[in-house]
Amino acid sequence: MKTKSLCVLGFFFVVMFVVNSFMPYYRDDYLAGIIWKTPHRLENFGDVLTSLILYYEFHGGRLVSFFLQFVIMLYDKVYFNALNALAFISMMTLIVMHAAREINALKHPKLLFAAGIFMWLGIFDFGEVVVWLCGSVVYLWTGVLAALFLLPYNLALKGKFLKYNPFLSFIMLCLGIVGACSVENLTVTTSLIAFGVCAYLYKKKTLKCHLVFGAIGSLLGTLICIFAPGNFQRIIDDEDRGMIFHILNQIPANLEMLLFMLPVILLMILSYRLLKVDLATEKGLSKENIVSVKKHHFALLTFVGLTLLSYMTNGFFQYSIYNAIVAAVLSPLGLTDYTTISHFHNTMSGVDEALLYILAVSYIYLKGAEVLHITKAEIAFAKSITLKDIINRYVEAKTAAFFVLLSLFNNMVVMGAPSFPGRALFSSSCIFIMGAVALISAKPAYDAIFESVNGKAIRISGIMLVIFLQIASIAVLHSIYL
């Protein structure tokens, strides 16, 4: 198991290293290479501290990530390429640790591989938060620190505590400060979890000293991050956006995250159905004798072919939709100014690619339900089994439900931030993936998806989809690099 896990981690490390090697410096990377808001390049550690102070005073409180950015820019990019690949596989490992709620993630090579696939498929703005230097340091690296800090709290809820060490409390205090002084929404979530777990364990009379120190450190990190003078300056600059804007912004933000998570969500639905059938069988409900009818999904495949033809020619399909919406919706509303039309045109220019991806993933889902014999008709006998029943029966389902709700809450917290770029969805996406990995680790789902002959089609489809995206990423970045 350990050898297989190391091979999985090694594979993703190599892919990420190659991808990062072809990614040039971009936009904010150049700003990170100079003393903040000055024309002078960073040349030594003193310059790093000067730049960090200026950043904190005039822009924001993400001290840890910007400190790391400034330090990285002192050295050749090859060091970042290696460290970023390491950060990626570290996040994969931590996702499995949190989902399985144990330290030894190397026992689960298939879950590690699933975590890597889910990250490639499900993380919104993957290039900006995992590949781009500034973006990955701000989101991926601090996400790793926060996930590492919160791991002892997750384990403690399961009754697993770290062995006593006289320096453990100090380590947790420092890790709490570093882990929480990250991104605005994640820092609040991190502190709330730390104090929430402490309160729960105190009530159960199992609270340990190092967890308290960790929570205190997390609170300090949150205060440092949130109350940075630079944040108040950004709020002044952003004062034209009221609370209504921030509330309404939650709708597209969460929809975007769920759209990118589509393949992960569909696999979770398959896992849910597998658990439902297993619980129904356990309760003695008899499965109806239904003859499985193989469907060819001609309508779906025709739609795929039409979209593919449009994509490979002149985009006739997406521009037909574009023209129809402009004529039927935007024109009657008087929204035909240059800015609106330009933005809408930019949005619609990617419809063919998006549809191809959604339709392909949907087809894999439908075929997966067929080969696993969990179509709607085949699980009708288990209709009396509710979501609550499954959560009560399978601890993995309960863990998954917690992580999914936590990811949505983590997005809501950012309403108080000056702005909400798509990149801020990263931590929520990783939390959501923890829930997905937890759900598929339940034995009935795990056996059907990873061990059974029928699950082979799903495994191959997932691997091919990710390899295609990896090759495409490398090809595009290589063309830029040249």
Distance CA 266, CA 159 (A): 32
Structural contact between residues 263 and 121, judged by C-beta atoms closer than 8 angstroms? yes
The span from the CA of 253 to the CA of 241, in Å, is: 16
Residue 423 to residue 290: CA distance in whole angstroms? 46
116 backbone φψ class: left, alpha, beta (φ>0; ψ -120 to 50): alpha
pLDDT at site 265: 95
Highest-scoring range by mean pLDDT, 25-29, 222-226, 377-381, 401-405: 401-405
> 34 has which bridge partners?
41
How many angstroms separate the CA atoms of 29 and 235, rounded?
24
Q: Which two tokens stand for residue 125?
A: 């703005």
The C-alpha atoms of residue 35 and residue 62 are separated, in whole angstroms, by: 16
Whether the pLDDT of residue 122 is over 80: the answer is: yes
Q: Which residues contact 150 (CB under 8 A, 6 or more apart)?
A: 98, 179, 190, 193, 194
Q: What is the pLDDT of residues 39-55, one digit of tens each?
A: 889 899 999 999 999 98
482 confidence band (pLDDT: 50, 70, 90): low
**Rounded CA gap, 183 and 162, in Å?**
27
Contact 259, 362 (CB under 8 A): no
| pLDDT higher than 60, residue 9 | yes
What's the pTM?
0.91
pLDDT at 72: 94
Separation of alpha carbons 279 and 261, rounded Å:
26
- Region 464-472 average pLDDT: 85
Residue whose pair of structure tokens reads 């380590």 in the numeric block: 171
Cα–Cα distance for residue pair 271/440, rounded to 1 Å = 6
DSSP 3-state assignment of 34?
strand
Least confident of 154-168, 241-255, 392-406: 241-255
Q: 125 by DSSP, 3-state: which? A: coil
**pLDDT digit string (tens) for 419-430?**
556 677 889 999
314 or 175: whose pLDDT is higher? 175
Mean pLDDT, residues 143-168 taken together: 89
Model pLDDT, residue 222: 92
Kindly indicate the confidence band of residue 229, based on its pLDDT and cuts at 50, 70 and 90: confident
**247 or 101, greater pLDDT:** 101
Statement: residue 89 has pLDDT above 60? yes
- Whether 58 contacts 232, CB under 8 Å: no
- What pLDDT score does 174 carry? 94
| Residues forming beta bridges with residue 41, ordered by sequence position | 34
Give the pLDDT score at 165.
78
Instruction: Identify the band that residue 393 occupies on the pLDDT scale cut at 50, 70 and 90.
Output: very high
Both structure tokens of 61: 């409180």
Which residue from 174, 173, 179, 161 is spatially nearest to 225, judged by alpha carbons? Answer: 179
Classify residue 451 by its DSSP letter.
I
Distance (Å) of CA 481 to CA 22, 190, 318, 472: 5, 38, 30, 14
Residue 249 confidence class, pLDDT cut points 50, 70, 90: low
Supply 119's token pair: 């990250």
Instruction: Provide the pLDDT for residue 386.
Output: 92
pLDDT at residue 244 tops 80:
no
Of the two residues 295 and 246, the one the predictor is more confident about is 295
Q: Residue 248: what residue type?
A: L
Question: CA-CA distance, 129 to 422, in Å (whole number)?
Answer: 10
CB 470 within 8 A of CB 15: yes
How far CA 6 is from CA of 92, 105, 114, in Å, comes to 12, 10, 14
The answer to whether residue 226 scores a pLDDT higher than 80 is yes
What is d(CA 50, CA 35) in angstroms, rounded to the nearest whole number?
Answer: 7
Confidence class for position 92, pLDDT limits 50, 70, 90: very high
What gap in Å lies between CA 271 and CA 165, rounded to an integer? 40
Helices (H), 103-208: 109-122, 126, 133-136, 142-157, 168-180, 184-203
The span from the CA of 249 to the CA of 244, in Å, is: 8
Residues 6+ positions from 309 with CB-CB distance below 8 Å: 317
Q: What is the pLDDT of residues 314-341, one digit of tens each?
A: 888 888 888 999 899 888 888 888 888 8
Given a cut of 90, is residue 26 above it in pLDDT? no
The CA-to-CA distance between both ends of the chain, in Å, stands at: 40
Looking at residue 215, what is its pLDDT? 96
Cβ atoms within 10 Å of 419's Cβ, excluding its own: 13
Residues 6 or more apart whose CB falls under 8 angstroms from that of 470 comprise: 15, 19, 120
Mean pLDDT of 147-164: 89
| pLDDT tens readout for residues 438-459 | 999 999 999 999 999 988 989 9
* Cα–Cα distance for residue pair 259/254, rounded to 1 Å: 9
CB 467 within 8 A of CB 458: no
pLDDT at 79 > cutoff 60 = yes
Averaging pLDDT over each range in 12-16, 247-251, 290-294, 369-373, which range is the top one? 12-16
Alpha helices in 292-380 (DSSP H): 298-312, 316-325, 338-348, 351-371
For the cut 70, the answer to whether the pLDDT of residue 235 exceeds it is no
- pLDDT at position 449, please? 94
Of 447 and 163, the structure prediction assigns the larger pLDDT to 447
Query: Are the CB atoms for 183 and 142 separated by under 8 Å?
Result: yes
* Distances, alpha carbon 168 to alpha carbons 64, 102, 172, 208, 470, in Å: 21, 18, 6, 11, 40
Q: How confident is the model at residue 311 (pLDDT cuts 50, 70, 90)?
A: confident
SS3 call for 41: strand
Summary mean pLDDT of the chain: 88
